[in-house]
A = this chain, B = another copy of it.
């Protein structure tokens, strides 16, 4: 596999650094700088997270952004939009209002120099259809994120597929989130449940049922009859939000897949993701001729922030060392590289 030719590139979504950004330990420029320093040259930004004053951050913001891209050798690959269909109390937005909202975010993506825009899962297929030609004129692709527990045979995704196949627009497609390929129950989640008061027999049953591809939807009743407490009920519910799909399911839809959110929960000390088998995923992407980015999406912080200082930077670096290995790149990111970066002086590096 190391010698297989491919065009897959590395990137990072600043979703990954949410803990440090939330706590003002990292600035937006720090995120860009860090991405560039690890060769994750394609950056993905969530305007509603990183742009103060969204949707009108001001010209200075865009000037700074363009300068950073230049300075750190990065490019804006993708932006992530939200669609606040419940913005107005007591009613859901009309399709026309939704279309206006999505176009506004397409404009922002264009101004940032992005190629791809993440349409959040609640975006109706009718809105995708209504925005396709607008996106095409801007040279953008509007990509529905397929996030667990959604999948390509989910009734909602089937409705989107109908529109995409009917329109044949180059501007519509999918952005799979690799959290749809959780092969075993993430350890950071089960351990957090234990710390929060779940009893071991409940956690073990959830983990075992999930890992054995059992009926996770049956866990709620089972836990209820076993006298579960609220934390235990939470882990039963969580089990139904996690999904394992065979990564080859992406092959059929590869013509519609243009960007990938490389979700991860825990990069272990031995350099692998505990729950998501990237060593099975990346070969499928290579086989399918995928030529876009693997855009890191670290989501472990919320599960460990109660016991350690989150070190998203180190986690992302570990994921990129793994990507280099699986993509056959020369491994340039040494373990321990974090230490050299003064920005994160107060960040713990022993995430786990």
Write the residues of chain A forming the contact surface with B, with a CB cutoff of 8 angstroms: 85, 92, 121-122, 124, 149-151, 153-156, 158-159, 205, 209, 214-215, 217-219, 221-222, 225-227, 240
Contacts and interface: CB of A to CB of B under 8 A. Distances in A.
A154 B222 contact: yes
Contacts of A155: 205, 209, 214-215, 218-219, 222
Which of A155, A215, A218, A227 has the most chain B CB atoms inside 10 A of its CB? A155
Contacts of A215: 151, 153-155
Given A121-B221, A155-B209, 10 more contacts: A85-B225, A149-B218, A150-B221, A154-B215, A155-B214, A155-B218, A155-B219, A156-B218, A156-B225, A217-B217
B240 A217 contact: yes
A227 B92 CA distance: 8
A84 to B, nearest CB: 13
6 contacts: A150-B221, A153-B215, A154-B215, A155-B205, A156-B225, A158-B214
A150 B226 CA distance: 15
- Sorted nearest first, the 4 A-B pairs with minimum C-beta distance are A156-B222, A154-B218, A155-B222, A122-B225
A215 B290 CA distance: 27
Contact of A153 (B149, B214, B227): B214
A155 B210 CA distance: 10
A126 to B, nearest CB: 10
A125 to B, nearest CB: 10
B151 A225 contact: no
Contacts of A153: 214-215
A221 B92 CA distance: 15
A156 B221 contact: yes
A124 B154 contact: no
A81 to B, nearest CB: 15
A159 to B, nearest CB: 7
A149 B124 CA distance: 30
Nearest to A215: B154
Given A159-B222, A205-B155, A149 B217 contact: yes
Nearest to A217: B217
A65 to B, nearest CB: 32
Contact of A226 (B124, B214, B217, B218): B124
A48 to B, nearest CB: 19
A150 B240 contact: no
Contacts of A209: 155
